Structure 1
Amino acid sequence: MGVIGCAGIAVRRMLPAFAACPDIEIAAVASRDPAKARQVAERFGCRAVHGYAELLEQDDIQAVYVPLPAALHARWTEAALRTGRPVLAEKPLTTDPRRTAELLELAAGRGLVLMENVMFVHHHRHEAVRRLVADGAIGELRAFHAAFTIPPLADTDIRYDPGLGGGALADVGVYPLRAALHFLGNRLDVVGARLTRGAKRRVETAGAALLSTPGTVTAQLTFGMEHAYRSSYELWGSEGSITVDRAFTPPADHVPVIGLRRGRTAEKIRLAPHDQVAATVAAFAAAVRTGAPPDDGATLRQAELLDEIDRSASREHPDATG
């Protein structure tokens, strides 16, 4: 594995997971800052490379991980794919659904795996929730609510920089949106949306969206990055409800709980801890090994819906973020 960039998520989460995965060896880490590349490379026992293009010239790199700011994902993901290497890229894969479609088509045409690093979908708790719904535990599904909000970031954080693809929608809005796709399928459409900007910010810092399936199920999404922390979703059915807290970024040792309510009866279903970072890395390695892309169309639909939410908010409230 070659890593293009030394972002915080790479150093804190992904590089340790790569190092622990028996199917992956970290070959090199690249940075535009030679000192940073050396520091990270020494920590993980790999080679330091100065510059992203230089990493793609290395003969021993078989796959590439791209943890750069969102605005740079498309350029370096495409560059890696054109050298014949599968790619794991941070979310969002691009800031433009057309570019997302182009990259997915490029990867498919070359028989390469292109995987967007949305990790929570690989946690076994969400599959357990799917089974409960499929088995009729809450009757017929009627509505889905999800929220992901985080406290304010440092003023210098790249997520406040519009030139680097910042903003609450692309950063934290992805989580409740992807959860809606995970449970309701790719035929969701945007009914309406609102994005708002915090004081002295150049990007939206909060938002909400209402989506719907072609049938009767609605999805209400809330997201923000200047809020009290919230990471949860609920599924409401004709006969009961399911609640999941700490839904999107649980630590590896967290005991996941599913709250199930049916009539006057409530129970908490506790599962074994599960490391979603390790599970994501293993899924990528398995996909590369077998040549079977793990994506089910959700990556492209997610990109399209992010764009639809942004355009819907701009149409309905043109001055809300301007």
Structure 2
Amino acid sequence: MTPVRIGIIGCASIAHRRMLPAMAALPGVEIVAIASRHVDKASAAARAYACRAVTGYEALLHLDEVEAVYVPLPNAMHATWIERALDAGKHVLAEKPLTTSVSRTHELVATARSRGLVLMENVMFLHHSQHAAVRSLVADGAIGELRAFHAAFAVPRRPADDIRYSADLGGGALLDTGVYPIRAAMSFLGNDLQVASAVLTRRHGHSVDSAGQALLCASNGVGASVTFGLDHAYRSGYELWGSEGRIVLEHAFTPPADHVPVVRLERPSGLDEILLAPDDQVANTLDAFATAIESGQLPDHDGVLRQAVLVDDIRTRARLYVDHATERMPGGSLS
């Protein structure tokens, strides 16, 4: 397969930590340019990967040698630069969430489809084989009939100036960590989930939510509880509770490539710990993106679109607590 020639719009931490090293190691991808608003930043990043340094995001989109772009910018900037990239005829891999609004997500998906361009949201855990193994256990009746799904993704508090706490940049726990358990619930219970109730909490004077929980319900009555946050002890896992047992998976959302997944299967007969082979979800995601471009097979956007609706419903319907449990503000959207 001819490598996909990709340009990077921005020098975000996730680009440096996970995406650029994976791109450099993958035969199906070639890093040809890295753009930053600051020339020194672009030069330093480009030097490490022997590629072209570009000052300014727009300039990168005008390069003929760039056929696809990766967008790791703050959430509020995704829609603008995805749109500009699509207008320039580039395929796009963008960090999650694709945009911060349902309408913009629909618009950009429609634009990409009309132009035959691949637009992919970078929800990498979906490409890890451990989840397929769990789905097989459920389908084979290992825990009987599914009764409930619980998922959580939360991380410790960040420095006060972290972009995740900026309303102007599209920060907040719901958009940052909430997408993971929501999408996990969708992958097991289907895209017809509805929001039954939700709570969002602001602490420490932040202008965005730093914690949240939501109860989702599938059409068959099975409920999913999702917990997310930016002010917690670390947690990244989910469990499926059935009529005859329970499956628990830890390190569900951001496992390193050498992590050995352990699926805990609890039944009346006892506990089984099923060890799976390590898998590289970053490389798998990039390979899926490159393969879609090479084959011309556009990705299915049903999950992305439904996810955007659920996130928006949680945001607008949630009971909002500010600072202390006694300072309750019912309903309303976050600024």
Cα drift, residue 317 of structure 1: 2.2
**Whole-angstrom CA distance in 1 between matches of 2:65 and 2:81:** 18
The SS at the match of 2:318 is helix
1:144-183 pair list within 5 angstroms:
144-183=149-188
Match of 1:7 in 2: 12
> Do 1:3 and 1:66's aligned partners in 2 also have CA atoms closer than 8 Å?
yes
> Do 2:316 and 2:331's aligned partners in 1 also have CA atoms closer than 8 Å?
no
Q: 1:269 to 1:296 in 2, by over 3 A?
A: farther
Which of 141, 144, 169 aligns to 2:146? It is 141
Match of 1:218 in 2: 223
**Whole-angstrom CA distance in 2 between matches of 1:46 and 1:320:** 43
The runs of 5 or more residues in structure 1 that have no matched partner are: none
**Whole-angstrom CA distance in 2 between matches of 1:308 and 1:25:** 39
CA displacement, residues 20-41 of structure 1 (integer Å, 9 cap, x when unaligned):
1101110100000110000000
Name the amino acid aligned to 2:163: I
Name the amino acid aligned to 2:251: R
The SS at the match of 2:199 is strand
Match of 1:318 in 2: 331
1:127-138 pair list within 5 angstroms:
127-138=132-143
Which of 102, 105, 109 aligns to 1:104? It is 109
**Whole-angstrom CA distance in 1 between matches of 2:141 and 2:190:** 17
Match of 2:289 in 1: 284
Name the amino acid aligned to 2:190: G
Percent identical: 58
Say yes or no: does 1:205 pair with 2:205. Answer: no
**Whole-angstrom CA distance in 2 between matches of 1:221 and 1:90:** 21
Q: 1:109 to 1:200 in 2, by over 3 A?
A: same
TM-score by length of 1: 0.97
Name the amino acid aligned to 2:83: E
**Whole-angstrom CA distance in 1 between matches of 2:118 and 2:64:** 19
Cα drift, residue 82 of structure 1: 1.1
> Do 1:147 and 1:230's aligned partners in 2 also have CA atoms closer than 8 Å?
yes
**Whole-angstrom CA distance in 1 between matches of 2:299 and 2:106:** 16
Superposed CA RMSD: 1.4
The SS at the match of 2:77 is helix
The SS at the match of 1:25 is strand
Say yes or no: does 1:60 pair with 2:73. Answer: no
Name the amino acid aligned to 2:300: D
> Do 2:259 and 2:279's aligned partners in 1 also have CA atoms closer than 8 Å?
yes
Residue range with higher mean Cα deviation, 85-94 or 311-320: 311-320
Number of corresponding residues: 322
The SS at the match of 2:29 is coil
**Whole-angstrom CA distance in 1 between matches of 2:65 and 2:276:** 40
Name the amino acid aligned to 1:65: Y
Match of 2:244 in 1: 239
CA displacement, residues 217-242 of structure 1 (integer Å, 9 cap, x when unaligned):
10000111111001110001111111
Match of 1:300 in 2: 305
The SS at the match of 1:153 is coil
TM-score by length of 2: 0.94
**Whole-angstrom CA distance in 2 between matches of 1:122 and 1:75:** 26
**Whole-angstrom CA distance in 1 between matches of 2:299 and 2:143:** 29
Greater than 4 Å deviation, 4+ residue runs: 319-322
Cα drift, residue 294 of structure 1: 3.1
